[in-house]
Amino acid sequence: MTDQAGAKKFLEFLPLGGADEVGRSCYLVGDGERYVMLDCGTSPKKDQIPNFEPLKGKKLLAVLITHSHRDHIGALPWLLEKNKNLKIFSTPLTKELSYIILKDAVRVRRRRGEPSPPLPPENVWETREYGEAFQIDDGISAVFRDAGHIPGSAQIVLNWDGATILYTGDICTFDTRMGGNFEKWEEADVVISESTYGAEFSRPDATTSIISAENSLIEEMKNVLQQKGRILIPVFATGRAQEIMYVIASAMREGKLPRVPCYSIGMMNHMLDVIGKDPAYREKVATIWECFTRIDFPRGVDANPEADERFRKIRDSKKPSIFVATPGTLQEGASSNLAIKIFDEKRSAIFIVGYQDEDWPGWHLWKMEEGGKFRIGESELTVKCRVKKFEIRGHAHPKHIIENIKRARPKLVLFVHGDPKARHQMHRYSRLEIKKCRFLSHLGETRVRFKVRTGKYDLSPLPGAPPTES
Ligand SMILES: [Zn+2]
Ligand SMILES: [Zn+2]
């Protein structure tokens, strides 16, 4: 089965989720006998898990994890429930952050009365530093490369009998405040690339635009505080939360923002404890804590914030202040509880940063006309405060992805982790700029069998019925 270069003639790519969506990232790469899984996430919408049906009868060697976002790790409890001794590999920071996220998700599901498998046992989860190559099986090894997306995030370079397969996970190719050590791609035979912002080729260069977004956020925050208003920034626990907090803390340190009380409310506090232990982030995390007061809920972010006296006190105070609170969706928990109060304050503002899905309340709030009505649970509230979105992103600009494809000179590129328009645009622009390469971008229920040395492929339906909704 091997050619002269030692590479297996054919390899397979099976997307169990995430090929046609941002969510449920979970891909199998294999040679027909042995398989390795890349990420194992849930959908942010309904905790939906990947389609594990194609795993039946296959020898799964290990699961390799890129980073601790739920769309890349959320389904691990389900996978491990059926494959108890399966080895998991990630960077050390990703392992620690993932357990915080997974523990919280299990607790939330159980509180809602939904069934939840237990956490993956810690002893099957091994860690490797960036650049530390490790053996998975005979002729199969892997190495993590910094992805620059969030602390601990990695790209995976898989070596399969001499063939190199690069899986990007989520990448951020430009420097951000808390991250930004993206390792440029080296030569690879096949690339599996994210395409989150693939539809935005015309946007200005990412580094310039993130700096201007940060500056305008600080400027707007200053205006609100001068008018004695309050500011709520709903965030996800890892990534943008730390980024925004560091932007605010630095601005206060530099005198660009007045020193008002700042509160960090929710799960990102635990994340900061873990991230702050890493020498690369220690100083930055210390800067954040110089400025922010932490409010923790003993039973996780999803616990009833109403029950916390300190939380109620700061929520009901009318003094100018800044709240960075989870969850970023505004669905429930601290951010939603604060929003209910702030909606009614004309001088105050809710600033949205980062990704919002159309199904989330945060998206509707952002799209709303001034004075619109917002529904939370049973109540409908008039939004009197200001609402604005700032593009503070943690994903690569599509042009940077194309630059990296040129550098890696693969024979085949598979675009995943993007909405249909994003994947379509990535495909179109890449094909225009890069000639000796094949591209695929609509792979939802398709198995790809490809020849490593040429990129020639054939497609067949993926075994097993896909889950009903995505
Ligand atoms: Zn991510
Ligand atoms: Zn992702």
Name every residue whose Cβ is closer than 8 Å to that of residue 313 and which is 6 or more positions away in sequence: none
* Cα(11) to centroid(ligand 2), Å: 24
Across residues 32-44, what is the average pLDDT?
A: 95
Q: Is the dihedral of CA 266, 268, 271, 276 positive or negative?
A: negative
Whether 79 and 215 share a structural domain: no
- Could you give the CA distance from residue 176 to residue 406 in angstroms, rounded to a whole number? 24
* Cα(23) to centroid(ligand 2), Å: 6
**Distances in whole angstroms, Cα of residue 121 to Cα of each of 60, 108, 137, 365, 460:** 17, 19, 21, 39, 35
Ligand showing the shortest atom-to-Cα distance for residue 147: 1
Q: State pLDDT tens for residues 349-400.
A: 999 987 777 777 888 888 877 778 888 777 788 999 999 988 887 889 999 9
Flag whether 3 is in a domain: no
Whether 163 and 265 share a structural domain: no
Name the nearest CA neighbour of 73 among 35, 37, 34, 19: 37
* Cα(348) to centroid(ligand 1), Å: 30
CA dihedral 410, 415, 417, 418 (to 10 degrees): 140
Whether 304 and 438 share a structural domain: no
Model confidence at 302, in pLDDT bands (50, 70, 90)? low
Asked if the model's pLDDT at residue 337 lies above 80, the reply is: yes
Flag whether 82 is in a domain: yes
**Distances in whole angstroms, Cα of residue 294 to Cα of each of 250, 301, 382:** 17, 12, 29
Q: Are 235 and 329 spatial neighbours (Cβ–Cβ below 8 Å)?
A: no
* Cα(384) to centroid(ligand 2), Å: 33
Ligand showing the shortest atom-to-Cα distance for residue 194: 2
pLDDT score of 240: 84
pLDDT score of 301: 47
Q: State pLDDT tens for residues 75-132.
A: 999 999 999 999 999 999 999 999 999 998 888 888 888 888 999 999 999 999 999 9
Whether 276 and 327 share a structural domain: yes
Question: What is the CATH classification number for the domain harbouring 332?
Answer: 3.40.50.10890
* Cα(18) to centroid(ligand 2), Å: 9
Name every residue whose Cβ is closer than 8 Å to that of residue 209 and which is 6 or more positions away in sequence: 203, 391
Task: State which H helix or E strand residue 373 sits in.
Answer: strand 373-376
Q: Are 196 and 418 spatial neighbours (Cβ–Cβ below 8 Å)?
A: yes
Determine if the pTM surpasses 0.75.
yes
Asked if the model's pLDDT at residue 292 lies above 80, the reply is: yes
Across residues 27-49, what is the average pLDDT?
A: 92
Say how many domains are in the chain: 2
Q: State pLDDT tens for residues 411-441.
A: 999 999 999 999 999 999 999 999 999 999 9
* Cα(96) to centroid(ligand 2), Å: 18
Asked if the model's pLDDT at residue 295 lies above 90, the reply is: yes
* Cα(395) to centroid(ligand 2), Å: 9
* Cα(22) to centroid(ligand 2), Å: 6
Strands (E), 21-133: 26-30, 34-38, 59-64, 87-90, 125-127
Report the percent of the chain where pLDDT is more than 90.
69
Domain that holds residue 45: 10-202+397-461
End residue of a domain, out of 365, 390, 415: 390
Report the percent of the chain where pLDDT is more than 70.
94
End residue of a domain, out of 366, 390, 414: 390
Helices (H), 235-354: 240-253, 268-277, 282-291, 309-316, 333-342
Asked if the model's pLDDT at residue 32 lies above 70, the reply is: yes
Whether 212 and 197 share a structural domain: no
* Cα(422) to centroid(ligand 2), Å: 14
Whether 257 and 294 share a structural domain: yes
Whether 16 and 49 share a structural domain: yes
Model confidence at 211, in pLDDT bands (50, 70, 90)? confident
* Cα(147) to centroid(ligand 1), Å: 10
Whether 266 and 307 share a structural domain: yes
